Amino acid sequence: MGTVSGLRAYFRKAGATKAVIGLSGGIDSALACFLTARALGAKNVTAYYLPYFGNGEENYAKTAAKWAGVRLKKASIRKAVDAVCDATGTNDRVGRGNVMARVRMALLYAFARKNRALVVGTGNKSELLTGYFTKYGDGGCDVLPLGALYKTEVMALAKRLGAPTAILKRKPTAGLWKGQTDEGELGMSYAELDALLRKGGLRKRVSATEHKRKPPVVIKC
């Protein structure tokens, strides 16, 4: 499989043998974790479940970790998120959601440093093109194994590789607030979104979010 060999080559070039990944139990993180485990060996991958809310979603993460064969660790982000939101006066749910994503990123890099590992991201092509991710949050990682796959392709590949039914049937959500779903925020299904993107649609949105997909601009003196 090209993704697995590509991951293996990337880690070899980087001189790294271990990976950490945030595992929510959604289909993206589950598949990214599974592919990374195939590339590096399950013993070299550590998955982290980083909840803000209660434990209602933890079983999904456990199911995904079992499928990939990796160990799963848990760390709550509630105290850190609340501290940042209190210090900055962030009260709206979108702003708080961005803080949650960035705290998770900071934790993953701290764990990566401790484990001498690289951070594997879980974003897909549909999210990247539409900017449906938090800059320096879930967008902060070293490698994106699903970055060339539309969401519908992620779903198809996960099914083909034998992903657990519970994960395949779960509604996509970033878990940024209770009841939040990706398709509810996007205003359409992923099938509809991908069909538009394949035809070059949503150009304004793709253009407006280009800065999220590129490194900082260097201003020449």
Enzyme catalytic residues: 28, 127
Residue 3, C-beta contacts closer than 8 angstroms, at least 6 positions apart = 35, 39, 145, 146
Nearest CA to 82 out of 48, 51, 52, 50 is that of: 52
Instruction: Give the CA-trace dihedral at 52, 57, 58, 60, to 10 degrees.
Output: -140
Token pair listed for 83:
């501290």
Contact 69, 60 (CB under 8 A): no
Token pair listed for 92:
């709206």
Contact 21, 33 (CB under 8 A): yes
- Give the Cα separation of 154 and 35 in Å (integer): 12
- Give the Cα separation of 180 and 172 in Å (integer): 9
* The total number of residues written for the chain in this structure: 221
